[in-house]
Amino acid sequence: MATPLMRLLLAACPLLLVTADPIRKVSTNGTLPLVMWHGMGDSCCNPLSMGAIKKMIEDDVPGIYVLSLRIGNNIDTSNSFFMDVNQQVTQVCAQLAQDPQLKGGYNAMGFSQGGQFLRAVAQRCPSPPMKNLISVGGQHQGVYGLPRCPGESSVICNWIRKALNTEAYSDLVQKHLVQAQYWHDPLKDDLYKKHSVFLADINQERVVNETYKKNLQLLEKFVMVKFLNDTVVDPRVTEWFGFLKTGQSKETETLQESLLYTEDRLGLAAMEKAGKLVFLASDGNHLQFTEKWFNDNLLPYIR
């Protein structure tokens, strides 16, 4: 059932995979647990990524319970590649609700697309309560460019972008391709609003869901990390909830300039007023940070 577009994306974007193995640690002694949702194609057990971060956190915060989410029931990567994000969120919500160690609440840290997926968890599933949401390179207004493509001028990137431009909002692609579900085409704003099954919903593009607005504001802090030299995420400002201005694809706007904020459709303006939004920047490319940077900047939010 894979279309040529999907096959091409599979080949070009191994980072889109969402399957991982669970990491569990026995009971904590007072520190709030941490739930992590890894990025595209990563896995919780990869000793070079989630595994290393988990170990680092456990060393720095003795006794902490770290749950690195596994999505889906097996490690069949192509299966999870095509898994509906809304289903993933539902499954994660159920998993969190059933975990006795999370009953008292938890902090959440999402890497790359895991950032916006955990925000959906905060908006849809207030129990157990999420305290701080830390988005590390998440794409809160989606992407209009292909992850891992080296740049605007590359022929192959342009070709794939063109293909996504024509197919991204079709029902089939929306339903089965993870990235299409946060594909945000500023030139096709009406199609995006109407057909984006995931991002347009959590960003209140069709209706203002008061439940989402209320739940998000239950967070103590919503921390967003942007990578200043990110060549994976396009546009970079989406990591701070900004995006391209509607109707063109060059000029960007900040969160504060967007309708989402000025009309406060999601409660973000209220959250900023209450000191709940934290915008952090890190030098370097996508998800590239030093242990010192992590400890200095992110650890304070998970202790």
List the catalytic residues.
112, 230, 286
Task: Give the per-residue contact string, 107-126, with ligand NAG (x = CB under 6 A; - = no).
Answer: -----------------x--
Does residue 79 bind ligand NAG (CB under 6 A)?
no
Residue 290 within binding range of ligand NAG, rule CB under 6 A: no
Question: Any contact of residue 91 with ligand NAG (CB under 6 A)?
Answer: no
Q: Which of 59, 76, 190, 283 binds ligand NAG (CB under 6 A)?
A: 283
Within 10 Å of residue 2's Cβ, how many Cβ atoms?
A: 14
Q: Which residue's Cβ has the minimum distance to ligand NAG?
A: 63
Encode 49-59: b = buried (16+ Cβ within 10 Å), e = exposed. Answer: bbbebbeebbe
Residues 142-201 that bind ligand NAG (CB under 6 A): none
* DSSP assignments along 240-271, one per residue: GT-EEPTT-SS-EE-GGGSHHHHTTSSSHHHH
**Residue 209 found at the interface with ligand NAG (CB under 6 A):** yes
Nearer to ligand NAG, 283 or 291 (CB): 283
Instruction: Work out how close the CB of 112 gets to ligand NAG at its nearest, in angstroms, rounded to a whole number.
Output: 18
Stretch that binds ligand NAG, among 99-107, 141-149, 208-216, 289-297 (CB under 6 A): 208-216
Beta bridge partners of 37: 110
Q: Nearer to ligand NAG by C-beta: 166 or 290?
A: 290
Calculate ∠ Cα 240-92-5, nearest 5°: 65
Cβ proximity of 164 and 196 under 8 Å: no
The least CB distance from residue 132 to ligand NAG, in Å, is: 16
Entry field: residues in the chain? 303
CB 92 within 8 A of CB 22: no
Task: Kindly tell me which residue out of 1, 26, 29, 275 binds ligand NAG, with binding defined by CB under 6 A.
Answer: 29
Q: Is the dihedral of CA 254, 256, 260, 265 positive or negative?
A: positive
Radius of gyration of the chain (CA): 18
User: Which of 8, 10, 15, 31 is close enough to bind ligand NAG by CB under 6 A?
Assistant: 31
Amino acid identity at 258? S
Q: How far is the CB of 159 from ligand NAG (least distance, A)?
A: 25
Sheet holding 277-282, edge to edge: 66-68, 34-37, 106-111, 130-136, 221-227, 277-282
Does position 229 interact with ligand NAG (CB under 6 A)? The reply is yes
| Smallest separation (angstroms) from ligand NAG to the CB of 269 | 20
| Binding of ligand NAG by 211 (CB under 6 A) | yes
Q: What are the helix (H) ranges across the chain?
A: 4-12, 50-60, 77-81, 85-98, 113-124, 155-167, 171-176, 189-195, 199-202, 210-216, 259-262, 268-273, 291-297
Residue placing its CB nearer to ligand NAG in the complex, 30 or 100: 30
Residue 48 binds ligand NAG (CB under 6 A)? no
- Least separation in angstroms between residue 149's CB and ligand NAG is 17
Residue range at the interface with ligand NAG (CB under 6 A); choices 40-48, 206-214, 241-249, 258-266: 206-214
* Number of residues counted as binding ligand NAG (CB under 6 A): 13
Which residues here bind ligand NAG, judged by CB under 6 A?
29-31, 62-63, 124, 207, 209, 211-212, 229, 283-284
